[in-house]
Amino acid sequence: MTQIFLQFAIVLIIALAISFIVRIFKQPAILGYILAGIAISPFIIGSGISTDTIKVFTEFGIAFLLFTVGLHLNPRVIKEIGFSSLGIGILQIILTTVAGVSISLLLGFNFITSLFVGVGVAFSSTIVVMKLLSDENKVDSLSGKISTGVLIVQDIVAILILITLSTLTKGKSLMEIALGQVVYGVLALVIIVFLGFFIVPKIARSAAKSQELLFLFSICWCFAVAALFSYIGFSLEIGALIAGIILSVSEFSIDISSKVKPLRDFFLIIFFIILGLNMQLSSIGAVIIPAIILSLAVILLKPLIIMIIMRSFHYTKRTNFLTGITLAQVSEFSLIILALAITKGYVMGEILSMLTLTTVITIAISTYGIIYGDQIYKIIAPGLKPFETKRSLSERKERLKKDYEAILFGYNRIGFGILNSLQKIKKNYLVVDFNPETISTLEKLKIPCLYGDISDPDLIEELPMKKAKLVVSTVPEFEANYLLIDKIRKVNKNVVIIVRAHQISEALDIYKKGANYVLTQHFLGGM
């Protein structure tokens, strides 16, 4: 026991050191954990650490990850995804899987292995993307919202694959599976759903009177359901996921999630380190060429597929590009699916090493793509014209022929009230919004509108600003509003500009740039 404790202490210290180095290069912590595992694999193997110990920590890491994922997968979320994100997500998974399978077959893998690899490259990393979007203040951007919706669709599909895979046993016919595990699984699910809706809420409400009791209850619920599913032949990870989904409808789901998160983070760190351990330095030479080829497919082909799909939804080339580059990496779910496939005997262990290396390469490169996406777009924008439909361009030209007294950017909750005011004072106005569904609604109401993104410099330059008397932006992005004011003031010194800001420091900078009034609703609401 002392030896195991010492080994894990050394592992965590090395992981911390490498994570500091990774952070200097603006890379996500996950990358540091995997690289730490690769770096210390000779030491761990030489010291003879028990494989059973490694397996236990791996199981804990995946179980806690899926439990917290389940806590955030409230069934109501499906309604909030939006048709475009749902369509883009499903089509992207299908086309990317087909491309991944084709490339894997060309690399000499059999069909089953190629299918798992194709599915693996289809999913993008929710943890990495959401962290980077949050750090770069891009969650509220159009590309950020679409990426978030697509990630939710991917997570749901990945979960369905995990559930299906956990029911399969190599060598058994579909009839044996149907009569065995599926029947038991459905019965277990019915019992758990019954408990989740009628018994668990009462226990949770009683436990919530003590924070320690609520934490203990949530862990017990997770372990109990996971153990039940493991006992009837499913994987315990699926049980942990379902336990989380059942609790997601609880009024205490946010409290439970915040309490479980530190525990999840610890075991998740161990999980990614162990992934690196499994990909030993000695085995990298055998998988590096296929990993590089797959990485190129994920970094180049996957964004291309996304941009082609989004073109059919009439988004601008800028939105298409930024969304594509945001999702250009391999997901942690892909590694979990492949690890489960290995335990079921469908693929060889070397495939996990190959996909892990692909994950490292794609996360490292896509991180810079997310951070410097706008700068990259400016360089390659002329070559992206095929990814913007003629319809969106012709509609834009038709709208831009007229002059408008007032231009409103963003038809959201704030924009709705401002639009009502513009209608009352009977001014000639135009509404600009980046959501195609919103534009369709406005067109049905015969409201003058234009599909466009305030962050797109080309759009701002094309808008008829010279005769405008009022410009209002309800978009909360600081950089977008800063750019808008800069472009407008160059052609119209007298127009009244009203924009929105989240923070007082941003509002002061925007005032200096030339705004007449800055909406700071969070600050005013607090007062």
Average pLDDT for 409-436: 82
The mean pLDDT value for 27-42 works out to 78
Do residues 176 and 303 share a domain?
Answer: yes
What is the CATH classification number for the domain harbouring 453? 3.40.50.720
366 and 396: one domain?
no
Clarify whether residues 128 and 225 are in a common domain.
yes
Question: Which of residues 381, 403, 438 is at a domain's end?
Answer: 381
When mean pLDDT is compared across 212-221, 263-272, 411-420, 508-517, the lowest value belongs to 263-272
Q: d(Cα 240, Cα 411) in Å, to the nearest integer? A: 40
Residue finishing a domain among 342, 361, 381: 381
Asked whether residue 110 falls in the same domain as residue 253, the answer is: yes
pLDDT value, residue 515: 92
The reply to whether 257 and 363 lie within a common domain is yes
- Same domain, residue pair 394 and 305: no
**174: confidence class by pLDDT, cuts 50, 70, 90:** very low
In this predicted model, what pLDDT tens digit does every residue of 336-359 receive, in sequence order? 888 888 887 888 878 888 898 898
Mean pLDDT of 477-502: 88
Sign of CA dihedral 34, 36, 42, 44: negative
The number of domains in the chain is 2
Q: Are 70 and 249 in contact (CB under 8 A)?
A: no
> Whole domain around residue 165: which residue ranges?
2-381
Rounded Cα gap, residues 68 and 256, in angstroms: 9
Same-domain status, 435 and 336: no
Lowest-confidence pick of 150-159, 381-390, 429-438: 381-390
For residues 80 and 139, which has the higher predicted lDDT (pLDDT)? Answer: 139
3-class SS string, 130-156: HHHHHHCCCCCCHHHHHHHHHHHHHHH
Comparing 174-183, 250-259, 462-471, which segment has the lowest mean pLDDT?
174-183
CATH of the domain at 297: 1.20.1530.20
When mean pLDDT is compared across 121-130, 264-273, 325-334, the lowest value belongs to 264-273
Q: What pLDDT digit, counting tens, does each position of 376-406 carry?
A: 888 888 888 887 765 555 556 666 667 888 9
**Among 294-303, 322-331, 392-401, where is mean pLDDT lowest?**
392-401
**83-106 vs 281-296: helix crossing angle, rounded to 10:** 120
Q: What pLDDT does residue 79 have?
A: 59
- Looking at the fold, whether 31 and 134 belong to one and the same domain comes out as yes
> What is the edge-to-edge ordering of all strands in the sheet holding 406-409?
449-451, 429-433, 406-409, 470-473, 496-500, 517-519
Q: What is the mean pLDDT of the chain?
A: 81
pLDDT at 29: 78
Final residue belonging to a domain, choices 350, 381, 412 = 381
Instruction: Express each pLDDT in 256-284 by its tens digit.
Output: 878 887 877 777 777 777 777 766 666 67
Which amino acid would we find at residue 274?
Answer: I
Pick the closest to residue 58 from 336, 349, 358 (CA basis): 336
416-440 mean pLDDT: 82
The reply to whether 218 and 287 lie within a common domain is yes
Whether residues 31 and 172 share a domain: the answer is yes
Specify the pTM: 0.76
CB atoms within 10 A of CB 289: 11
For residue 290, what pLDDT band results from cuts at 50, 70 and 90?
very high
Q: What is the pLDDT of residue 278?
A: 66
**What pLDDT was estimated at residue 303?**
94
Does residue 222 have a pLDDT over 60? yes
Read off the pLDDT band of 146 (50, 70, 90). Answer: confident
Residue 65 in this model has a pLDDT that exceeds 70 = yes
Same domain, 366 and 422: no
Taking the C-alpha atoms of residue 308 and residue 317, their distance in angstroms, rounded to an integer, is: 10
Tell me what pLDDT residue 169 has.
Answer: 57
Average pLDDT over residues 119-146: 83
pLDDT confidence band for 103 (50 / 70 / 90): very high
Q: Which residue is associated with the tokens 């919706």?
A: 149
**Predicted local confidence at residue 298, as pLDDT:** 94
Distance, CA of 130 to CA of 124 (rounded, Å): 11
Q: What was the pLDDT predicted at 417?
A: 83
Check residue 101 and give its pLDDT. 94
Question: In whole angstroms, how far apart are CA 428 and each of 43, 408, 423, 449?
Answer: 72, 11, 9, 12
Higher pLDDT, 83 or 89: 89
Do 235 and 175 reside in the same domain of the chain? yes
